[in-house]
Structure 1
Amino acid sequence: MSTESHNAENTGSNDSVVETSNLAGSGDFLIVCEHASNYIPPAYKNLGLDETVLKSHVAWDPGALAVAQALSKALDAPLVEQKLSRLIYDCNRPPEAENAMPAQSEIFTIPGNCNLSQADRDVRTKTVYFPFREALATCLDHLQARGKSPVVITVHSFTPVYKGVKRDVEIGFLHDQDDIFAKELIKTFAAETDKFVLRLNEPYGPADGVTHTLTEHALPRNLRNVMLEIRNDLISDQESQQDMATILAQAILQAEKTLGKHKNHTAPTTKPIKTGN
């Protein structure tokens, strides 16, 4: 398994911001986990937050990395993961998005992100987002140079209760303009098990700005893609994380088989869709 890491200039030489593993994998997929870690380098002084907040979903996607790693293994696919908390920079957002460095996340104010100057934002963009974007693009370049047209699969988790409202959806299959793989995957997943409440573009969708990685990397290359959102209480321990990854891997392989060769895929050219209820 090969591993490459990139370091942020302002976080110290031991603080990598992105890691690519299993680059030599033989599968026809690329796994991405943008919110893999809640780590905040000492220079940021925890952004003024206490440990309770830093351990919560506000700072990362609990359980998502473990599922992504299990999928990478099951599908023999490369994995690209963000190594710093999304509160430093959310690599699933473009630099111009306010919530790329959120001053408010759900009900929590993020003191270290309040009143950031453009210069402050530029430094984080340069040292966190650009290396992540470059690593992901380089990984895709490598796969395509090997004759592959990988399905881009991003792995996330979400909280069961958001701003005091309980969420009924348990697994979301998100897409932007290209819904082909997401719609096929939700069908093949449902065929594997009827234990979960499944929805397309819930609890988030393109109108919420969450499909940036798909639109930045998959759509321009005409690669099939899907963003997975798993309710984090369903992947709270090692056993449930592995079980979820096993079902997902089986469904992903079946969806790929049903849709046929990816190299013939052409993404739709329609305008970005809006979130449905």
Structure 2
Amino acid sequence: MLMPQAVLSETEGDCVAVERPDGRSPVLVICEHASRSVPVRFGNLGLSEEALSSHIAWDPGALAVARGLSASLDATLVHQRFSRLIYDCNRPPEAPAAMPAASEIYAIPGNQHLDAAERQARTEALYLPFHQRIRDLIRSRTARRLASVIVTIHSFTPVYDGKRRDVELGILHDADDRLANRMLDLAAEAPLYRTERNQPYGPADGVTHTLKLHGLENGFKNVMIEVRNDLIVDDVGQGVMADYLAGLIQRSLDA
């Protein structure tokens, strides 16, 4: 039987990284799809380099934006160090999309016909430590009487399944729309980007797992941000987006 430690080698280190652990902002920035790195054990999953560098493996530009946001707000950042193709940390273990057998036009040979032991091993190696680290940070913040606001950062491809997406910035929420509503109102006052609610995905697509797990269950304000990835392909675009989002979030919280 495959043991959890076989998923990652000792030299590959922890699956989760924390930056600015002592950040003073109430915002806790989370980036679940930060990396395209595949653990050595899995090779290339039977995929081409083109596929492994595409949006099916990670959210291009998202980590850079999350880091810029963290710096601007002095906010703690938590991000996953391995590809969502091995485990998508924004999905619960029972969801097929947690370890997808296919994504958009790509079949993923290395994820075909996974048995229960393999799924459990990946869950224990990647999903459980990632979310436990977030819980530990929240517990520590609460003990220090610091408020917490959950903000997750993602990016999406401008063309999906052959269809062009005109939306540039998505403000997503689940049952708690407090922060999202204020951000949408402020974005509408000076529309720098085409901004829409729960686009290009929404709760029905199963994308609000992290928000529910750490935001809704704790009663914290929370929001998921989706950025069209052609806007954040370089340092300039990433910096402009991070500054814009930092201002939008801070103004919304101040209000």
Q: 1:115 aligns with which of 109, 113, 116?
A: 113
Structure 1 residue 252 corresponds to structure 2 residue 249: yes
Structure 1 residue 190 corresponds to structure 2 residue 188: yes
2:160 is matched with 162
Q: Compute the displacement of 1:41 (Å).
A: 1.4
Count how many residue pairs are aligned between Structure 1 and Structure 2. 251
Q: Compute the displacement of 1:23 (Å).
A: 0.9
Q: Structure 1 CA distance, aligned partners of 2:63 and 2:140?
A: 22
Where relative contact order (Cα < 8 A, 6+ residues apart) is larger, the structure is 2
- The aligned amino acid for 2:162 is G
Q: Structure 1 CA distance, aligned partners of 2:5 and 2:221?
A: 31
- The aligned amino acid for 2:146 is K
Once the two structures are superposed, the pairs formed by residues 162-181 of structure 1 within 5 Å of their partners are 162-181=160-179
Q: Structure 2 CA distance, aligned partners of 1:111 and 1:136?
A: 31
The 8 Å contact of residues 29 and 78 in structure 1, kept in 2 or not, is answered as yes
Query: After superposition, what is the alpha-carbon deviation per residue over 1:118-150, rounded to whole angstroms, capped at 9, x for unaligned?
Result: 111000001110110111111111111111221
Q: Compute the displacement of 1:8 (Å).
A: 5.4
2:200 is matched with 203
The CA RMSD measured in Å over matched residues stands at: 1.2
Q: Compute the displacement of 1:196 (Å).
A: 1.3
Structure 1 residue 10 corresponds to structure 2 residue 7: yes
The 8 Å contact of residues 189 and 248 in structure 1, kept in 2 or not, is answered as no
Q: Which blocks of at least 5 consecutive residues in structure 2 are unaligned?
A: none
Using structure 1 for the length normalisation, give the TM-score.
Answer: 0.88
Once the two structures are superposed, the pairs formed by residues 47-62 of structure 1 within 5 Å of their partners are 47-62=45-60
Q: Structure 1 CA distance, aligned partners of 2:169 and 2:40?
A: 34
2:85 is matched with 87
Once the two structures are superposed, the pairs formed by residues 127-138 of structure 1 within 5 Å of their partners are 127-138=125-136
Cα distance change of structure 1 residues 142 and 9 upon mapping to structure 2, 3 Å threshold? farther
Q: Compute the displacement of 1:182 (Å).
A: 0.6
Using structure 2 for the length normalisation, give the TM-score.
Answer: 0.96
Q: Compute the displacement of 1:9 (Å).
A: 4.7
Query: After superposition, what is the alpha-carbon deviation per residue over 1:187-225, rounded to whole angstroms, capped at 9, x for unaligned?
Result: 22333x423111000100011000000001111110000
Q: Structure 2 CA distance, aligned partners of 1:251 and 1:95?
A: 33
The 8 Å contact of residues 188 and 252 in structure 1, kept in 2 or not, is answered as no
Give 3-state SS (helix, strand or coil) of 1:227's partner: strand
Q: Structure 1 CA distance, aligned partners of 2:11 and 2:128?
A: 18
Deviation above 3 Å: which 4+ runs of structure 1? none
Q: Compute the displacement of 1:11 (Å).
A: 1.4
- The aligned amino acid for 1:27 is S
Q: Which blocks of at least 5 consecutive residues in structure 1 are unaligned?
A: 1-6, 259-277
Q: Structure 2 CA distance, aligned partners of 1:32 and 1:44?
A: 25
